[in-house]
């Protein structure tokens, strides 16, 4: 089993163990690979060790198609009958980047550092007769070799706070790597394979800032929104994330480490911001959020502190803030959906850190 490596910036390493003897026929058949979509983040309280999403969620989390233009890496392992395990044949099926096209079809492509498709390249996937396992991770950001303490970690894709990363996830039946058999058929017909849906590998925080009493306009100021107290993503310690099943490592929050929330959009009743963070244990330190907002064109600053928080991979944590103006004083009342669902933390309250 090959490992994905998490290194100083917390990274997924996409290099697999080389294959020794793979039991497949030399006959190759065209195998179109189709993207299977992505599941929305799970709400807090879902046990990531449960056997399936269906066993704990009714209905299942929302599943969406991957947008056209999404890039991903596809790693293909072949079943070795002698070793009785899946191994990677890097010579025949090297790690490749793909882009999602119409009809969820995947096409080989060349990507830039940020995982944007520059051009479609190569030919359709051809596989020999045999049994295969497909792993996917998206977006397909540029990978490189990194040396730490005289150890070289090959094909590393850094993951940092603020990066949204989805992947095959063996923690759930619905999202585990896809297994498919390629067989001999009359006329060697095309045999498409649809990947299992992917799921977020970081923790997603969502902030809804709503217009309350006497508020007609909300706008994020250039100073933005700062989030501190999350996992430090440049600690210099190397981690390993196994394709076989473990999640991105959970680390205690660092009160000095922060990131800006830059993904904001307007909603019918205010603003919504989203950010992905590395899994963080903030049960012994506070998470601080500094909002710089123009309320009715008046620059206003609010600070919220979140205590006893635990941010798990694949989960989404939603926080609602209601901004009111009363007698010229700006007050933001917050309703912490994540805390309410967990049920173990402090109750919602009122933020009165207005200027």
Query: Do 68 and 102 form a contact (C-beta atoms < 8 A)?
Result: yes
For residue 213, report the phi and psi dihedrals to the nearest 5 degrees: -60, 125
Q: Give the sheet arrangement for strand 258-261, strand by strand.
A: 258-261, 218-228, 287-295, 298-306
Cα–Cα distance, 153 to 151 (Å, whole number): 6
Angle among Cα 119, 265, 205 to the nearest 5 degrees reads: 90
Residues 6+ apart with CB under 8 A from 144: 155, 156
Task: Look at residue 335 in the predicted model and tell me its pLDDT.
Answer: 64
**pLDDT tens per residue, range 16-43:** 333 334 444 456 788 889 999 998 777 6
The Cα–Cα gap between 332 and 38 comes to: 34
Residue 308 has which token pair? 């006893």
Instruction: Spell out the CATH class of 203-351.
Output: mainly beta
Place of tokens 């990274």: 11
Mapped onto helix, strand or coil, the DSSP state of residue 341 is helix
> Rounded to two decimals, what is the model's pTM?
0.77
E strands, 112-217, where?
117-120, 126-128, 130-138, 144-148, 151-158, 166-167, 178-182, 193-194, 198-200, 203-211
Q: Which of 203-212, 244-253, 321-330 has the lowest mean pLDDT?
A: 244-253
Token digits for 323?
């901004």
Report which of residues 9 and 17 the model is more confident about.
Answer: 9
Q: Residue 351 — pLDDT band, cuts 50, 70, 90?
A: very low
Q: Assign residue 207 a region (left: φ > 0; alpha: ψ between -120 and 50; beta: otherwise).
A: beta
Tens of pLDDT, residues 112-152: 988 999 999 877 788 888 999 999 989 998 776 666 667 67
Give the fold, CATH level 3, of 3-200: Immunoglobulin-like (2.60.40)
**Residue 346 confidence class, pLDDT cut points 50, 70, 90:** very low
> Tokens 């040396």 correspond to what residue?
147
pLDDT at 220: 95
Q: How far is CA 310 from CA 169, 214, 286, 316, 339, in A?
A: 20, 35, 11, 11, 10
Span 334-344, average pLDDT: 38
Q: Is the pLDDT of residue 214 over 80?
A: yes
In this structure, of 185-194, 278-287, 304-313, 333-342, the range with the lowest mean pLDDT score is: 333-342
The domain locations on the chain are 3-200, 203-351
Q: Average pLDDT of 223-228?
A: 93
Strand pairing of 151-158 and 11-13?
antiparallel
Task: State the pLDDT at residue 118.
Answer: 94
Element containing residue 17 per DSSP (H, E): none
- Measured CA to CA, the distance from residue 70 to residue 87 in angstroms comes to 27
Mean pLDDT, residues 52-79: 79
- CATH topology match: 3-200 vs 203-351: yes
> What's the pLDDT at 196?
94
pLDDT of residue 44: 58
pLDDT value for 19: 34
pLDDT in tens, 236-290: 333 333 333 445 777 888 888 889 999 999 998 999 999 999 889 998 888 999 9
User: 103: helix, coil or strand?
Assistant: helix
Looking at every residue in the chain, the average pLDDT score rounds to 77
> Who wins on pLDDT, 194 or 327?
194
Nearest-angstrom CA–CA distance, 334 and 316: 17
């Amino acid at each position: 089993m090959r490992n994905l490596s998490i290194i100083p910036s917390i990274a997924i390493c996409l290099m697999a163990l080389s294959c020794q003897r793979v039991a497949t026929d030399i006959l190759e058949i065209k195998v179109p690979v189709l993207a299977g979509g992505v599941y929305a983040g799970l709400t807090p309280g879902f046990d990531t060790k449960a056997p399936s999403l269906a066993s704990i969620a009714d209905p299942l989390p929302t599943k969406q198609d991957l947008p056209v233009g999404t890039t991903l890496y596809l790693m293909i392992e072949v079943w070795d009958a002698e070793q009785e395990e899946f191994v990677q044949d890097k010579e025949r099926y090297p790690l490749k980047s793909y882009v999602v096209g119409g009809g969820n079809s995947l096409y080989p492509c060349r990507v830039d550092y940020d995982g944007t498709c520059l051009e479609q390249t190569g030919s359709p996937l051809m596989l020999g007769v045999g049994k295969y396992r497909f792993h996917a991770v998206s977006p397909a950001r540029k990978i490189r070799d990194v040396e730490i303490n005289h150890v070289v970690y090959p094909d590393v894709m850094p993951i940092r706070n603020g990066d949204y990363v989805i992947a095959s996830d063996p923690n759930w039946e619905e999202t585990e790597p896809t297994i498919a058999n390629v067989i001999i058929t009359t006329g060697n017909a095309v045999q498409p394979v649809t990947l299992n849906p992917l799921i977020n590998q970081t923790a997603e925080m969502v902030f809804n800032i709503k217009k309350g009493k006497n508020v007609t306009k909300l706008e994020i100021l250039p100073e933005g929104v700062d989030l501190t107290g999350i996992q430090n993503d440049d600690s210099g310690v190397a981690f390993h994330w196994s394709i076989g099943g473990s999640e991105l490592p959970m680390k205690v929050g660092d009160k000095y480490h922060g990131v800006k929330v830059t993904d904001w959009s307007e909603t019918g009743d205010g603003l919504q911001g989203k950010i992905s963070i590395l899994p963080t244990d903030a049960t012994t330190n506070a998470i601080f959020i500094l909002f710089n907002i123009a309320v009715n064109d008046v620059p206003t600053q609010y600070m919220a502190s979140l205590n006893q928080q635990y941010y798990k991979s694949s989960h989404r944590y939603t926080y609602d803030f209601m901004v009111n103006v009363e007698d010229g004083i700006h007050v933001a009342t917050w309703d912490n959906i994540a805390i309410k669902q967990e049920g173990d933390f402090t109750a919602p309250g009122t933020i009165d850190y207005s200027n």
